[in-house]
Amino acid sequence: MVYNVISNMNAVIIFCAQYLFLLVVLLEVLAVIRLGKGVDQKVRFVLAIVIAGVIAFILSRISSKLYFDPRPFVREHVKPLFPHIADNGFPSDHALLTGTLTAITYFYNKKYATIMLIPTLIIGWARVYAKVHSPIDIAGGWIFGIIGSLAAYYLVRWGLSKPWGQDLQKKLIRIVQATPILNKVM
């Protein structure tokens, strides 16, 4: 009986650690669709998502070359809850993705960002519990996601206030309007 409870709990933790990020991605898509402030604001949001992702990714790659944190299952000589390669755990890619999406969403749709924060925190905890990341790996991913999101939000605001940025936004809006599937969801 106790074994079954632990086995079931481990299955839930494994699911959260490996697949719950898909819920955050789905919520991000819904946050864009449900923004309800016109296609120009949605284009700004999507542009900010892309820029935030690029900045966060660059920060994570640079930091992973400067800081090496062995995964807990390697350092502690234990078996993780699921198979994982024994490489540098810093920063967590799952934390980076979910932290970036949650942080950039905060600037455009606080309600969805608040909802997204819950699975983001659960994913971080689950990856630590599964012994594939240490807390510093998770915190690093979230911090780089927040930095990338802050930079992207202000870059988009600044860039779209310039004539070249306004031209870019108009072109992106025309692309959205000319693409049937994008036109329906935006």
CATH number at residue 54: 1.20.144.10
The torsion defined by the Cα of 51, 27, 93 and 12, in degrees rounded to 10, comes to: 180
Phi and psi at 88, nearest 5°, equal -65, 130
C-alpha to C-alpha distance for 177 and 172, rounded to whole angstroms:
9
Q: How many domains does the chain have?
A: 1
State which residues form the domain around 54.
Answer: 38-185
Residues 6 or more apart whose CB falls under 8 angstroms from that of 30 comprise: 112
What is the model's pLDDT at position 5? 61
Judge whether 29 lies within some domain: no
- Residue 88, SS3 per DSSP: strand
The answer to the question of residue 5 being in a domain is no
Determine what percent of the chain falls in helix, strand and coil, rounding each to the nearest 5: 80, 0, 20
Q: Each residue of 124-168: pLDDT tens digit?
A: 999 999 999 999 999 999 999 999 999 999 999 998 888 888 888
State the pLDDT confidence band at 6, using cuts at 50, 70 and 90: low
pLDDT of 2 reads 55
